[in-house]
Structure 1
C-alpha cells in the first residue's frame, strides 16, 4: 500500500534532542499505515533556510534557541521565508506567555521538550498541517471576497459614470427641443436629435456589453455558431460603418482618424462565427479609434492562408504601460493612462472570450505615446471554390 510521504525539517542544535526526536518519530511511524515521513535535520537557522530552497517540506519542527538565532526572531525569520509551511515550536522552556506569543507570530503549535511522546509529536504535526491548510484556504477566500468587493465597487462606479453622461445629454437635448421648439432652426433640431441618438446608442452598447459579459460568466459556455461568409466583404462592410462615424466626427471638428483597411486576400469564404467575429473586430477598432485622441492612422490588416486568418489592428494612440498589459483582458480593468477617456473596461474581456471560444489567440504589443497593435489569429475551414450565398446562415 502506498503511504503518503511527509517531509519534516527538524531544526535543532542539540544532537541528543535531535536523535531523540528522530527515534520517537521512527517508532511512531510504524503505527501509521497511511503516512510515512522523512526527517531532515539541520542545526542552524542558516542551514534551514538553505534546505527550504533545496527540497520540498510539509512541516517544520523548530527549536527557538540556535547558535545563529535566538528566541522568537528564529520563528519570525523562518515564517517570512516559508509563510505557507506549518511550524511546530520545540523548546525546553515551559513558558505559557512565550507559547502564546509564538502562536501569535505564526507557529501552529508549541511543545515542551521532555513532555512529549511520539503520539504527541505526530498529532501535533498532523494538526499543524491541517490548520495551516485551513488558514491558507481562509486567506484565499478572504482575498477573493475582497477582490469581488473591489470589482463590484468599480462596476457600480463605472456604470454610474458611463450611463449618466449620455443620459444627461439625452435629457438636456429633449428639454431644449420641448421648450424652444419654435425658436430652434431645423439644423439645430437635427443636431440635437443626432446627439440623442448617439447617446442612446452609447447606452445601448454598454448594456449589450454587460449582457455579453453575463453570458460569459454563466456556467453555460458561450455558444459557437459558425457559418459560411466572405471574410473580406464582411471586413469592408464593417470598416465602411466605422468610416461613416469618423467622417461625422471630422465634420464636428474633432481630430481626424485615417482608417486604412488592407486585405491580403480578395473574395475568401470562411467558416467562422459571424457574431463572435463582429464582437472582436468592433471592440478592437473602437478602442483603436477611441484611444487615439490626437488623431492619426488606424491600420486594419487581414491575412489568411489555408489554416488560419490573422487580423492585425494598429493605432498611433496613447499606448499601454508595459506593466499593465497582462491585466488588459480582465473585466472592468482600464489602464492607468486612460483618465478622461470614456470606457467600461469590458471590451477586451469580451474580445478575449470570443477569440478563445473559436480556438484562437490574441496578442498585444504596445508602447506608451507610440501606439498599440492587437493581433488576433483564428483557425478556420476554407472552401476551395467561391462561396455559394445559399450556404450562408446569415448572408451579407
Structure 2
C-alpha cells in the first residue's frame, strides 16, 4: 500500500491536477515518490524533507511505497516531480529496478539510493536513466535536497536538449531535401541552357548565311535593302555572341577541375599582348606582378582572366592614358572586403586582383553585377553580352574561391578573388 506523508499541511489535490518535471518555484510543492522498503531509512528521508530550511522555500509532498510493484502502480495513477528509488527491494534488486521505473516513466527524474558506496553502480545507474546517486548513511538534509533539485533541473535540461535535437534533425532533413531539389533544378536548368544555346546556333547560322547570299545577289541595286540586311546581320552576330556566352557558362562545372600549377602572370601577359595587337593605337600601360602561381584549371582560369582583362580594356577605351594592373595582395590591403571576410579568408591568404582606371560604376547597383545579362554601364557606350562576369564568378566558385569588387564612377574598378587555400 502507498502511504503519504506531507512535510507541511497543504491544500488537497484538486481532481485532475497533474504535476510535471518542471522545477518548482518558491511556495510550490515538489511531489516525491519514495520507494524504500527499510522503515528506518524511509523515516529518516521523510524527516529530512520535513525540516524547514531557510534556503529551500518549497514544500515536499512524499508518497512512500516499499515495493516496486506498488511504485509502478502509483506512477500509473499520479504524476510526480521526482522518484527516490532504493535499488534493493523485496520484489526487485539492482539496476533492473531502475530499468523498470524508467520504462514506466521515461521522463521522470530519478535519484537512486543504495547501501553500497559503489562508483561503478553509480555510473551505470546514471547511464541507464538516473539523474543522481546517493549512498545511504552518507545522506544529509542538504545533500538530499540538492540532489532532488539538481535531478529535476538536469532532467529539464535533457528534455529541452532532446527537443532541440529533434528540431535540428528535422531542419537538417528539410535542408537536405531543399538542397537536393535545388541541385536537381540547377542541373535541369543547365541542361536546358546548354541545349538551347547549342541547338539555336544552327538556325542562326542559316539566317546569317541567307543574309550574306541576299547581299551578294542584290549588289548595290537597292541601298535600303542593303541597310536592312546589314541590320539583320548585326543582330544575328550579337545573338551568336550571346549564345556562345550561354554555352560557355553552362559548360563550366559540368566537368571536374583539371588542377595543375598555373602561372597567372604569364597568362595575363599573353592576353595583354593580344589586346594590344587588336588595337595597336591605344595607349594602355599594363602593370603585371611576376610569378603569380596558383593551382587550378588552366583553361578555366584563362577564360576568367580573359573576361576580367577584356572588361578593363573595354572600360578604359575613352582614356588617353589607361592603366590595367594585375597582382596579388592580402585581406588587410584590399580597398573593400566582402561581408564574410573574417570567416572565409585567412589573414595571409593570397587575394588576386585586376584593377583599371576606367569608367567604373555605381556601387549602389552592384548586387546585379554577376547576374547574366545585367550591365551597370550604358550598353550603347560599351559593347558586350552581359555574361562575362557571370562566367568569371562560376569559374572562381568552381575553384573553391569567392569574388568581389570595388569601384568608383569615372575612377575605375578593381575585381578581387580568392582560390581554394591550404594553410
TM-score category of the 2 structures, normalised to the smaller one: 0.3 to 0.5
TM-score normalised to structure 2 length: 0.41
Structure with the greater alpha carbon radius of gyration: 2
Q: Normalising by the residue count of structure 1, what TM-score does the alignment of the two structures yield?
A: 0.43
Higher relative contact order (CA 8 A, sep 6+): 1
